[in-house]
Structure 1
């Protein structure tokens, strides 16, 4: 869908400098190639009038603020719900919203940039959201190459879509130091870029441990990966049988998601070695990871806890220190899981946090000492360059991804 503009509306009483928000809106809009407009509304009636204005070709972001009448709009069932992202600067926790709209929260002023990106990208290249569990955060977003998606959309409901060659699958695991304020929207641009390159992308959301515990997080990642074998049944006609190449699954995780990606790969390899992975021929899930890709991953949890990376994010996520819950670290720490038993690609921006650079370099050395030969890609870039389709380090990553999956 063509999106040519984004409107950002701030509700009355929002505690933030309007000039700062207006400047951020203009910069992000320019980067997305759309017109940007920021309006500080005086009351709920003006907010409603402004939101009624956009339409499918103009995305909208509402910063509701504290006004009860404005906050009531989050759940209002209206046409503009379909193209609106609601964003709270502070950590409100998940808020109910009308069908079709989205709520993000807790990322401060910088989070508005991500809200704008998500508002535009979700309209520009819509994804099909498919639940894999009962909790609201148990879902994945499937994007297909445009030609494939168009062919499926045009097919009659009772007519199967021919699959000439199954699509390789890129499973995306977002980061954010395992905290709930960060979500799957971080991976939108990556998902779109990979779909344009011929991949089926499965952008996985999962319950984060700060609100649900570490066991819920790891279980969701495992389930969200295994469900790929059943996706045609879950999605109906939107995913024809045979569309996904389950022998070419790459799991790509960013930051904390890099740890989750290597943990998932190690678990599937261990299950295969123990005969616990069912064969697809006899009805089992049979999902194998062909390649695990860590993008600026947190790959040494023990040392990460000692150094208090992310202001204590490791112990907060896992539920304690290595001394207190050694078995949890042993199961989760990529360093402790070597050899992983799955081909790997480790990607790190040279301008990132020095501790992450250290973790990644030492992980590659330890993997080689354990008899594995992970790909190692360190190039100029910061923590987010590794998930930015415009960055040279991402383009180098995709080149290596294609090569390793035989594309």
Structure 2
């Protein structure tokens, strides 16, 4: 666990009552307006990044369905361009990190990513969730991501500058799968995890996501097998529920970006999804990045990262103006 998460865990646990109870007020429809943990009280490693940019940031704990939130993991960081902005004027990006659905990598790795997007005039909602090894896996990881996204309207009430009518959800690796799943939860049956969403993104950008999970398993991806608790033949209903290629919504514009040198999630896995979505009548674009692998696609020091930022920024701003 990173220094950020260790420090943040203690901070969040100490401030739970303020954030979830005393720090909330009710708006006119009776729902709670959440109070953030101020960035000034966040860990030094977090505050230093924010202090060096034209970005403000706040951390929120989101509620989970089955009981108390895990304050080390059930949180989101909201990054906003500094200054006053008219209501509904700042496009929203929901950012979901990867890491093979496992606990070794968390949302703190996307602080720079989120900051760079916010510097482009975007509100960025960076999601942390429980993973394998820290209380996650199927179904908990998926329930957490659903809960975090369903909490977004509450964040919008606390931050009226955000355009909540449109949102681009972006994910890397496992987060790419979670992002595509999050964009199509409205297609789930009522008894499936994540069903009946309270908030729906309007477009999706996958960065090296396993968007055809059955093919990925056939190609040797045992990380998916661990996350879902078996191969497709053993738990077919789980794959049917969360595999993006089995849950295409043609009305959801999607972009699948992947590195030509990606050996972790080969480009064919994204290509299959885009081909299937296009055949179904959807708007889906496949973007192959040369000289880019599974890690460098989200590495701020890599040449391809600027194109990644530009693609996300364009998608968010275009959705905002449509």
The aligned runs of 1:328-407 (5 Å cut-off) are 328-339=238-249, 341-353=251-263, 355-380=265-290, 381-405=292-316, 406=318
Gaps of 5+ in 2: 14-42, 52-56, 64-68, 190-194
Question: How far, CA to CA, are the matches of 2:287 and 2:186 in structure 1?
Answer: 24
Question: How far, CA to CA, are the matches of 2:273 and 2:99 in structure 1?
Answer: 20
8 A Cα contact 2:265 2:294, kept in partner: no
Partner of 2:90: 167
Question: How far, CA to CA, are the matches of 1:254 and 1:122 in structure 2?
Answer: 24
Question: How far, CA to CA, are the matches of 2:116 and 2:277 in structure 1?
Answer: 30
Deviation of 1:146 (Å): 2.4
- Counterpart secondary structure, 2:209: coil
- 1:324 counterpart (229, 234, 247): 234
Question: How far, CA to CA, are the matches of 1:97 and 1:219 in structure 2?
Answer: 20
**Distance verdict in 2 for CA 1:199–1:96, change over 3 Å:** closer
- Counterpart secondary structure, 1:143: strand
Larger RCO (alpha carbons 8 Å, 6+ apart): 2
Question: How far, CA to CA, are the matches of 2:86 and 2:223 in structure 1?
Answer: 44
Query: What's the TM-score once normalised by structure 2's chain length?
Result: 0.75
8 A Cα contact 1:263 1:332, kept in partner: yes
Partner of 1:216: 140
Is 1:135 aligned to residue 70 of structure 2? yes
Is 1:303 aligned to residue 215 of structure 2? yes
- 1:125 counterpart (27, 46, 50): 50
RMSD of aligned alpha carbons: 3.0
Query: What's the TM-score once normalised by structure 1's chain length?
Result: 0.60
Partner of 1:203: 126
Partner of 2:175: 257
8 A Cα contact 1:172 1:203, kept in partner: yes
Is 1:146 aligned to residue 70 of structure 2? no
Question: How far, CA to CA, are the matches of 2:244 and 2:233 in structure 1?
Answer: 17
Highest CA radius of gyration, 1 or 2? 1
Deviation of 1:277 (Å): 6.3
